[in-house]
Amino acid sequence: MSKLQSPRGTADLMPEDMAGHRHVIDTAKSCAGVFGFEEMATPIFEFTDVFARPLGESSDVVTKETYSFTDRGGEGLTLRPEGTAGVVRALISAGLTQTLPQKFYYQGPMFRYERPQKGRMRQFHQVGVELLGPTSPMADAEVIALGAMMLDQLGVLASCRLHLNSLGDAECRAAYRSALVAFLSGVKDQLSEDSQRRLDTNPLRILDSKDEGDRALIADAPLLGDYLNEASTAHIERVMEQLAAAGVAFERDPKLVRGLDYYCHTAFEFITSDLGAQGTVLGGGRYDGLAETLGGPNVAGVGWAAGVERLALLSGQAPRLDAPLVLIALPDAEGQMSTETQLFALANQLRQRGIRVEMPFSGNLGKQLKRADKLGARYVGIFGADEAAQKALVLRDMQDGSQTNLGLDAAVDHLSTLFQDQS
């Protein structure tokens, strides 16, 4: 086994992996397009503040999961751990806050310093969408419907459940938070070690604890739903109504809390049971305060991100290259390889018409036919001394072994139609 390895938590995308990856990205992009989301990209690193401020100084993502460094000019930079903050920053930078709404789709690598396990890497990839401007619940519903369509087209929706919750606006979220902290502080001694720590850093997260003891305590805790004000209740009800109308199945999950500070109102996750502990396949929510936190104007927003690796693991087979035409050159009458040069010219003409053509680089006829078989070729063209004399190409059908002669003049047109019919 070689000692040469990529750094921990990173992985090469070899062709078979890349096919699955590409399939997810292409599907996401085409679904986004139907909803009017156009692709954009932001830098892979930003000034550290871009992530530190909106994500919450104390959030785990910022305190222990970022790849941060100082560059040669002394700037504090951070490899992006998620996409939303960068997109909103770009919106503000470009002055697009004057021309709302804006709908963006993006895709690319993200970086989090974590212990890797299945479906969790230090460099991983996300596809995401952001809908900026509208405060309407329909924006939430639109974004969720888009996510559901993408998952459906990838064949993973059926094994996912959509969990939906409202975190309320800033006002009722704060009220609930203090009520929860008050309750939990009373039983602090009985909480798990992790949850005692979370009481300070992210108390809402305790609702989602996997510790048995915690779960029992939480059963009596105040519910977020009881603290929602009228506006917040109306908002989430409207979202649920529209999702139902669009045929998107969901379940209200009062314990769903997202880890990043900037979320408000609608929060949602599509969760699968097929990926061990890393069940969240797509997650997002509304983040109305984010733009202001970054120092921009007040711009509402809602969006989600989905893990490309996780989706690729779930969605199975992805399209690969078409079966090729294999052209085999044999020595001409003088024992030279002028045949190869003629075939190369033919290959190029066919390639210009979009046909995949392979010419083995060496080997006798037997070897090259074997190679053609491995490449999955249905048709093989053979061209040697006899064929050169007749100005013809032997076309072999690998399925039944039959062979026909094809005049060189007609070869390009004939093979073009043959391969177009095939696909």
Nearest to RNA of 24, 243 (CB atom): 24
Interior/surface letters 247-283, b for 16+ CB within 10 angstroms, e for the rest: ebebeebebbbbebbbbbbbbbbbbbeebeebbbbbb
CB 299 within 8 A of CB 91: yes
Nearest to 43 by CA among 86, 102, 104: 86
Joined tokens for residue 398: 């690998």
The packing angle between helices 84-93 and 48-55, to 10°, is 120
Nearest to RNA of 97, 280 (CB atom): 280
Nearest to RNA of 81, 97 (CB atom): 81
Joined tokens for residue 375: 């490449």
Count the neighbouring beta carbons within 10 Å of the beta carbon of residue 72. 5
Nearest to RNA of 149, 306 (CB atom): 306
Nearest to RNA of 74, 335 (CB atom): 335
Q: How far is the CB of 244 from RNA (least distance, A)?
A: 23
Nearest to 119 by CA among 313, 384, 270: 313
What's the CA gap between 37 and 10, in Å, rounded?
Answer: 29
What's the CA gap between 29 and 277, in Å, rounded?
Answer: 27
Nearest to RNA of 97, 168 (CB atom): 168
Q: How far is the CB of 298 from RNA (least distance, A)?
A: 23
Nearest to RNA of 97, 106 (CB atom): 106
Nearest to RNA of 116, 225 (CB atom): 116
Identity of the residue numbered 364: N
How many residues does this entry show for the chain? 423
What's the CA gap between 401 and 233, in Å, rounded?
Answer: 70
Nearest to RNA of 148, 382 (CB atom): 382
Q: How far is the CB of 30 from RNA (least distance, A)?
A: 20
CB 395 within 8 A of CB 403: yes
Task: Give Cβ neighbours of residue 260 (< 8 Å, ≥ 6 apart).
Answer: 54, 55, 56, 59, 61, 82
Q: How far is the CB of 121 from RNA (least distance, A)?
A: 5
Q: What φ, ψ does residue 36 adopt, rounded to 5°?
A: 85, 20
Nearest to 164 by CA among 246, 32, 258: 258
Q: How far is the CB of 197 from RNA (least distance, A)?
A: 8
Name the site residues for RNA (rule: CB under 7 A).
1, 3, 5, 8-9, 59-61, 65, 82, 112, 114-121, 124, 126, 194, 198, 202, 205, 208-211, 258-260, 269, 276-283, 305-307, 309-310, 330, 363-367, 369-370, 372-374, 382, 384-387, 394, 396, 398-401, 403
Rg of the chain over Cα atoms, rounded to whole angstroms, equals 29
Joined tokens for residue 277: 């502990």
**Beta-ladder partners of 419:** none
Q: How far is the CB of 317 from RNA (least distance, A)?
A: 18
Task: Give Cβ neighbours of residue 413 (< 8 Å, ≥ 6 apart).
Answer: none
Q: How far is the CB of 243 from RNA (least distance, A)?
A: 18
Q: How far is the CB of 271 from RNA (least distance, A)?
A: 8
Nearest to RNA of 243, 281 (CB atom): 281
Q: How far is the CB of 8 from RNA (least distance, A)?
A: 4
Q: How far is the CB of 238 from RNA (least distance, A)?
A: 24
Nearest to RNA of 169, 332 (CB atom): 332
Half-sphere exposure of 60 (CA within 13 A, CB side): 11
Q: How far is the CB of 328 from RNA (least distance, A)?
A: 9
Half-sphere exposure of 47 (CA within 13 A, CB side): 10
What's the CA gap between 72 and 114, in Å, rounded?
Answer: 26
